[in-house]
Amino acid sequence: MTRYFSEADSVETVNARVAPDADPRLAQVMSSLVRHLHAFVKDVTLTEAEWGIAIDFLTHTGQICSDTRQEFILLSDVLGVSMLVDAVNNRKPAGSTPSTVFGPFHVDGVPEREMGSNISLDGVGEACLFEGQVVDMDGHPIKDAIVDVWSDNADGFYDVQQPDIQPQHNNRGIFRTGADGRYWFTGIKPVSYPIPDDGPVGQMLCHLGRHPFRPAHMHFLVSAPGYHRLITHTFVAGDSYLESDAVFGVKAPLIVDFEALDTTQDGPRWRAAYDFVLPPST
């Protein structure tokens, strides 16, 4: 066992310090983290000045966090780490609906609404009928599935970002399927928006020549007893940012054609039909 630190044995020296009775999973995770962090420093021969910039960046990222802002989740998102953690934890059978990042804008405690309700409480935006079916891997309807949905408003902000402007629970709703597994409700056709880019993560994106936009999407959290819980979005086909989502959330099967409806009559202007296929929970 190496006693003193050296460049060659840096990983072994640090990891040898973990006590034999430490939690085995913690020891595994931290040993791997040290191995990859040291490999990074060695690969790029990180300078002392760059190390200092990294310390300042991480400090600033922590200090800008608040009850309504989580800059470290944003950092994880734009580095593709959030999508990767989602991927390695949700390897699902072919034919099931793909998952994507949860994002920071879900809210607990939204009231369950009657199927068919309008969740656009401020009435601003282009009304859109969202409908489809929650089914199992054999295509059979799933009864009592909970369909929890949320989106931004017509200006690209979630209600929690504008508590003084938007009604509480604007563009949010929870619905429960009947025996036919069907869901339907009216919302708005979502719009693309930038992730908060006035902090260190936004500065980093700027230096990398990356834009902060997400393509327009509706969030869905679909769950039912006995089935794998699904966290996903549907994306508006044709959006300019589909291939450059700042947080890498887009997957091809989640892109939905929003169908223009006859606007000479009352009712929604768009229709977005999408079925969710849930594998059994393991």
Asked if 260 interacts with its own copies (CB under 8 A), we say no
Among 24, 137, 187, 207, binds its own copies (CB under 8 A): 207
- Considering beta carbons, is residue 33 or 107 the nearer one to its own copies? 33
**Which residues 136-175 are close enough to bind its own copies by CB under 8 A?**
none
Among 109, 111, 209, 226, binds its own copies (CB under 8 A): 209
Q: How far is CA 238 from CA 191, 213, 235, 249, in A?
A: 12, 15, 9, 16
Asked if 82 interacts with its own copies (CB under 8 A), we say yes
Asked if 65 interacts with its own copies (CB under 8 A), we say yes
Q: Please choose, out of 64-72, 134-142, 152-160, 219-227, the segment that lies near its own copies by the rule CB under 8 A.
A: 64-72
Q: How far is the CB of 120 from its own copies (least distance, A)?
A: 29
The packing angle between helices 71-78 and 81-89, to 10°, is 80
Q: Please choose, out of 61-69, 171-179, 180-188, 220-228, the segment that lies near its own copies by the rule CB under 8 A.
A: 61-69
Asked if 63 interacts with its own copies (CB under 8 A), we say yes
Q: Which amino acid is at 17?
A: R
**Count of residues touching its own copies (by CB under 8 A):** 74
Q: How far is the CB of 73 from its own copies (least distance, A)?
A: 6
Please list, in sequence order, all residues whose beta carbon lies within 8 angstroms of the beta carbon of residue 269, skipping any fewer than 6 positions away.
Answer: 126, 127, 128, 189, 260, 261, 263
